Amino acid sequence: MANILANFSNIIIPVIIFYIVAHGVLNRVQVYEEFVGGAKEGLKTVVQILPTLVGLMVGVGVLRASGFMEFLGKMLGHLTERFGIPADIVPLILVKMFSSSAATGLVLDIFKTHGTDSYIGMLTSILMSCTETIFYTMSVYFLAAKVTKTRYTLAGALLSMTAGLAASVVLAGMMG
Amino acid sequence: MLNYIWAFMILTGVVYAAFTGNMASVTDAALSSAGEAVSLCVTMAGVMALWMGLMKIAERSGLIAGLASGIQPFLSFMFPRLPKKHEAREYIATNFIANILGLGWACTPTGLKAMEALAELEKERGNPAYLREGKNGAARTASREMCTFLILNTSSLQLIPVNMIVYRTQYGSADPAAVIGPAILATLFSTVAAVVFCKIMDRKP
């Protein structure tokens, strides 16, 4: 099953590219000219988000290097363990809100220490599948629209994440 | 909002590091993170150009319109005030489809385009903050469509967590794919919470 899925993710991109170009040719689109035009727009967007990315990654980097994340994890861990969330998971939840790649580092760490099929391993697996990088997405997307007042977006995102977290705890409990 | 969060990260980080003697690693992290952001952008630039180029073809050939029509009922439900013929609709549709299929590389480009199009929509609606351009333009407030789009996006729409299955395989799981079922359920649950929240906020004046 895992192999099928890994293969699926390997072939899906070439298949999509093939399909788009073939569909374009069949519909008599000037495929190459359109491609270059689109690529130009894409580059413009990347240049626009670079400053946010620098700001955000420096912020996360500083906070992580200071050791504050671990400290917070330990402190909140006492509280969250009552709800079935082990202390090791707390930094992961916090980091996942900012950076997917930083969270991946922590996930692999948890798998190494606790195994993948333990309660913690299962909880980590489910949790990472149903949450997104809230702050990263918000800051990058809102920057594209030059919006600074984000109204109820954060509240909604956090609520949805909490719902996912609660579901993960229940489901991981059922599996283990 | 982001002003406070960012200031909190930087200030707390530095103060905490001062007390715990981690100043050297904070210096390192600040400099290397800034560099990482640039190299991430360089990597992303290629992918972004490739994807947006392909999307342009798909747009011209009518492929996107066809794909987007599949989830129109859902879009009409979530974005009742979004005009039927607006390009924001297409970008939102493609972004959701990319999210559901777990095409991470395709999500950001379409998401950014969707946000730009939604800002354009506010301009068309005559929202004063969006009419003024320039460096020190007025503080723009997110439109309802932007809030809904962002909340749904951060609620995770991905159906099959391919990454997690691969990591689980790497670390010797007896059943790496066991995560699929619960992941779909948990994702469904978090998305339903997001939908309900958005609908409630959308009703408010």
**Residue B127 sits in the same domain as residue B39:** no
Q: Measured between CB atoms, does B169 come within 8 Å of chain A?
A: yes
Residue A172 confidence (pLDDT): 93
Q: Greatest CA separation found in chain A?
A: 63
Contact B9, A63 (CB under 8 A): yes
Q: Structural domain of residue B31, as residue ranges?
A: 1-58
> Which residue ranges of chain B lie beneath pLDDT 70?
1-2, 102-105, 133-138
| A154 contacts on B by Cβ (under 8 Å) | 1
- State the average pLDDT over residues A4-9: 58
**Residue B54 sits in the same domain as residue B70:** no
> Taking CB atoms and an 8 Å limit, are B45 and A144 in contact across chains?
no
Q: pLDDT tens digit string along A110-168?
A: 898 899 999 999 999 999 999 999 988 998 899 888 898 999 999 999 999 999 999 99
**Residue B190 sits in the same domain as residue B93:** yes
> Taking CB atoms and an 8 Å limit, are A146 and B17 in contact across chains?
no
Task: Give chain A's length.
Answer: 176
Which of B9, B34, B58 lies at the terminal end of a domain, its last residue? B58
A175 pLDDT higher than 60? yes
Backbone angles phi, psi at A154, to 5 degrees: -60, -40
> Nearest CA of chain B to the CA of A18: how many Å?
10
User: Distance between CA atoms of B151 and A154, rounded to whole angstroms?
Assistant: 8
Per-window interface: B 89-118 vs A, CB < 8 A: 101-103, 108-109, 111-113, 115-116, 118
> Taking CB atoms and an 8 Å limit, are B187 and A129 in contact across chains?
yes
Compare A95 and A170 and report the one with higher pLDDT.
A170
Q: State the total domains in chain B.
A: 2
**Residue B92 sits in the same domain as residue B170:** yes
> Taking CB atoms and an 8 Å limit, are B154 and A157 in contact across chains?
yes
pLDDT bracket for residue A9 (50, 70, 90): low
- State the average pLDDT over residues A1-29: 78
> Taking CB atoms and an 8 Å limit, are B60 and A34 in contact across chains?
yes
User: Distance between CA atoms of B129 and B182, rounded to whole angstroms?
Assistant: 44
Identify the residue among B27, B54, B191 best suited for mutation to test binding to A, counting A beta carbons within 10 A and taking the highest: B54
Residue B90 confidence (pLDDT): 85
Percent of chain A scoring above 90 in pLDDT: 43
Please state whether B126 falls in left (phi above 0), alpha (psi between -120 and 50) or beta.
left
**Residue B109 sits in the same domain as residue B96:** yes
> Taking CB atoms and an 8 Å limit, are A147 and B61 in contact across chains?
no
**Count of Cβ atoms closer than 10 Å to residue B145 Cβ:** 24
Q: Kindly report the average pLDDT of chain A as a whole number.
A: 87
Compare B190 and A64 and report the one with higher pLDDT.
B190
**Residue B43 sits in the same domain as residue B112:** no
Burial class (CB in 10 A: 0-12, 13-18, 19+), B53: buried
Residue B46 confidence (pLDDT): 83
**Residue B67 sits in the same domain as residue B41:** no
Closest listed residue to residue B179, CA positions, set A81, A168, A108, A86: A168
